[in-house]
Amino acid sequence: MSTPTTLERLSYGSSDGCLAMGLHREVITVTASATLTKEQSGALVVLGIATGATVTLPAPVEGAQFTIGTSVTRTSNSYKIITDASTTFMVGAVMAGDGTIATSGDVFEADGTTIRAVTIDGDTKGGFIGSTLRFTCINATQWYVEGL
């Protein structure tokens, strides 16, 4: 899979790249479960509900990306980020912990063939203000995940 040729490109053909003035990033605040769309690629998705929510990633489009962060500390239920289908997986790693250095530092790995979701429970797996995950689609069946 390669980046779709139908995407609009900001370029005038220079090997140096291009300059785009005044770009702003879309910010999506989640206060209930949400399903993202490919058109929202590049957005900052803010989990703004303390009682947990599920965010579903869109069907894979190579190069699509989302940053998901928390603006409130999760107090009940879980935050869950899940792929769109049973045939779409995550690959990469996330480091999680709690507010104290002594008990932090667990690493959760996604192998690219079985893991479909990241669950943030706020007890032993993150969910504090400032938790951040980045998802980048790398092919037709995988999202690369990284974060703290």
Write the pLDDT tens digit of every residue in 72-107.
988 889 999 999 999 999 999 988 766 665 666 678
> Whole-prediction pTM value?
0.86
More confident: 148 or 27: 27
Mean pLDDT, the chain, whole residue set? 88
* pLDDT attached to residue 131: 87
Read out DSSP for 17-60?
----TT----EEEESS-EE--GGGTTPEEEE--TT-EEEEPPSP
More confident: 65 or 97: 65
* pLDDT attached to residue 144: 98
pLDDT category at 127 given cuts 50, 70, 90 is confident
Whether 3 shows a pLDDT value over 80: the answer reads no
